[in-house]
């Protein structure tokens, strides 16, 4: 986590370093463009660094983003030198299983593309089928156009894009929306970047029936599932972000939890971890109350308030425990009840 994008071997080197080779001697060339300065001026380094710090794993995704950044900086340099530059198409498609970070990365993309000067506003409009497709004849086109106008100058993110296409209903209005999108994606590349997201297999089917869509997307990026190791690190990151911590035993419990959970049904990668932690926090709260009630004083230290213990995690159904029917009164302070 502490490694910077600079010295991490598994992803592409940073755009600045990648192209200038990190040598000063280029600067002497007459009319040369200092790529490193361009790199620094965009502030893109910080954004990529932040992406690296706040998102665990996802090496191929980060690599592709680095490449895009490098490409856009070089494109800028080329234009500065009066070289031709066909405005690059940056429409993207993010595929991957549930909870692999597609939505999260799309949110960051607007920031990245804005810093690189590719879009005019740091602005992302996130929509699903319901925002684009109308209910009756003549409703869809204005609806789609309105969304497009709002997204202009920024990024339009269409989550679960395959819902736009409903082959089972040949009169489905989704097709109309797709056609308007295609037109804008082709003709107004300077005005809008479209990012589609969804599960891989369904996205593939969607593209098979809409080849025009697939060919307008320059970057198909696949989000891999996380390894157990990565999920554990994600858990660590998530708890620190909300001022909690796992004690040593809880970490072991979390590791076992991750291993068990991964092989079970409805596993949703990082989202499952987030949900598990949410429930662990509930249990921690109940536990703190129980101890406070049985003790004479109700004080809880900052430490206790922050710590998630192994028991909070092991009480999960994943460890074969039936959810215990909790009596509300058991968790509530008796004093509070009798006070009433």
Partner 1 sequence: MMTNYGNRLTQGQFSFLPDLTDAQIKAQVSYALKQGWAVNVEYTDDPHPRNTYWEMFGLPMFDLKDPAGVMQEIDACRKTFASHYVRVTAFDATRGWETPRMSFIVNRPVEEPGFRLDRQEMAGRLQRYSIHSYAADKPAGERY
Out of 96, 157, 207, 284, the only residue in the binding site for ligand ATP (CB under 6 A) is 96
Selected range binding Mg ion among 71-79, 99-107, 179-187, 310-318, rule: CB under 5 A: 99-107
Q: What is the dihedral of CA 4, 5, 11, 12, to 10 degrees?
A: -150
CA atoms within 13 A of residue 102's CA, in its CB half-sphere: 28
Asked if 154 interacts with partner 1 (CB under 8 A), we say yes
Show the tokens assigned to 11: 């992803």
Characterize 141-161 residue by residue with b for buried, 16 or more Cβ atoms within 10 angstroms of its Cβ, and e for exposed. eebbeebbeebbbbbbbbbbb
Q: Which of 49, 103, 107, 126 binds Mg ion (CB under 5 A)?
A: 103
The SS3 of residue 18 is helix
Q: Dump strand ranges (E) for the chain.
A: 92-96, 124-127, 155-159, 193-198, 219-223, 245-246, 307-308
Here the tokens at position 57 are 């794993």
The Cα 330–Cα 267 span in angstroms is 32
CB of 158 to partner 1, least distance (A): 17
Q: What's the rounded Cα separation, in Å, for the pair 72 and 15?
A: 9
Closest CB 101 distance from Mg ion, rounded Å = 8
The tokens of 305 are what? 């308030």
- From the CB of 110, what's the least distance to partner 1, in Å? 11
User: Least distance to ligand ATP from the beta carbon of 56, Å?
Assistant: 4
Residue number, nearest CB to ligand ATP: 101
Report residue 124 as tokens: 């992302």
Considering beta carbons, is residue 154 or 174 the nearer one to partner 1? 154
Residue 270's binding partner among Mg ion, partner 1, ligand ATP, none (Cβ under 5 to 8 angstroms by kind) is ligand ATP
At CA 242, angle to CA 6 and CA 47, rounded to 5?
A: 25
Residue 268 to residue 56: CA distance in whole angstroms:
15
Q: How far is the CB of 207 from partner 1 (least distance, A)?
A: 27
Minimum distance from residue 122 beta carbon to Mg ion (Å): 20
Distance CA(45)–CA(39), nearest Å, equals 7
d(CA 109, CA 122): 9
Instruction: Please tell me the count of residues contacting partner 1 according to CB under 8 A.
Output: 14
**Residue 160 CB, nearest distance to ligand ATP (Å)?**
7
CB of 33 to ligand ATP, least distance (A): 34
For Mg ion, the closer of residues 14 and 101 by Cβ is 101
Please choose which of partner 1, ligand ATP, Mg ion, none residue 56 contacts, taking the beta carbon within 5 to 8 angstroms, the exact cut-off set by kind. Answer: ligand ATP
Instruction: Give me the phi and psi of 150, to 5 degrees please.
Output: -65, -35
* Residue 204, φ and ψ in degrees, nearest 5: -60, -45
Q: Within positions 243 to 302, which residues make up the interface with ligand ATP, using CB under 6 A? A: 270-271, 274
Q: Which residue of 8, 150, 274, 279 would you call a contact of partner 1, by CB under 8 A?
A: 150
Site for partner 1 in 180-209 (CB under 8 A): 188, 191-192
Nearer to partner 1 by Cβ, of 195 and 280: the residue is 195
Among 8, 12, 53, 55, binds ligand ATP (CB under 6 A): 55
Token pair 């098979």: residue: 208
Q: Does 127 bind partner 1 (CB under 8 A)?
A: no
Q: Which among ligand ATP, partner 1, Mg ion, none contacts residue 45 (Cβ within 5 to 8 A by kind)? A: none
**Residues found near Mg ion in the complex (CB under 5 A):** 103
**Residues found near ligand ATP in the complex (CB under 6 A):** 55-58, 96, 98-104, 234, 237, 270-271, 274
**Residues found near partner 1 in the complex (CB under 8 A):** 120-121, 123, 142, 146, 148-150, 152-154, 188, 191-192
């Amino acid at each position: 986590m502490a490694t910077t994008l600079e010295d991490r071997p598994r992803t592409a080197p940073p755009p600045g370093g990648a192209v200038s080779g990190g040598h000063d001697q280029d600067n002497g060339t007459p009319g040369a463009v200092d790529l490193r300065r361009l790199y620094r001026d965009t502030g893109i380094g910080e954004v990529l660094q932040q992406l690296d710090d706040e998102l665990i794993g996802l090496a191929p995704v980060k690599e592709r983003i680095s490449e895009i950044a490098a490409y856009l900086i070089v494109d800028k340099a080329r234009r500065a030198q009066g070289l031709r530059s066909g405005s690059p198409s940056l429409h993207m498609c993010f595929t991957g299983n549930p909870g692999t970070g597609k939505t999260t990365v799309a949110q960051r993309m607007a920031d990245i593309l804005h810093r690189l000067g590719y879009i005019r506003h740091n602005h992302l409009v996130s929509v699903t089928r319901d925002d684009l497709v109308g209910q009756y004849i003549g409703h869809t086109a204005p609806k789609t156009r309105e969304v497009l106008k709002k997204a202009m100058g920024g990024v339009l993110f269409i989550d679960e894009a395959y819902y736009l296409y409903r082959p089972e209903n040949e009169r489905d209005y989704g097709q109309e929306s797709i056609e308007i999108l295609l037109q804008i994606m082709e003709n107004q590349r300077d005005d809008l970047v479209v990012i589609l997201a969804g599960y891989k297999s369904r996205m593939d089917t969607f593209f098979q029936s809409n080849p025009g869509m697939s060919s307008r997307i320059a970057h198909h990026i696949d989000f891999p599932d996380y390894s157990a190791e990565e999920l554990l690190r994600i858990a660590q990151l998530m708890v620190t972000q909300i001022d909690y911590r796992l004690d040593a035993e809880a970490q072991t419990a979390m590791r076992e939890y991750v291993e068990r959970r991964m092989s079970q049904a409805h596993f949703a990668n990082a989202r499952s971890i987030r949900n598990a932690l949410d429930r662990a926090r509930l249990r921690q709260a109940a536990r703190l109350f129980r101890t406070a009630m049985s003790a004479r004083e109700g004080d809880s230290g900052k430490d206790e308030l922050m710590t998630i213990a192994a028991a909070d995690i092991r009480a999960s159904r994943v460890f074969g425990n039936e959810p215990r029917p909790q009596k509300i009164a058991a968790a509530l302070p008796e004093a509070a009840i009798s006070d009433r």
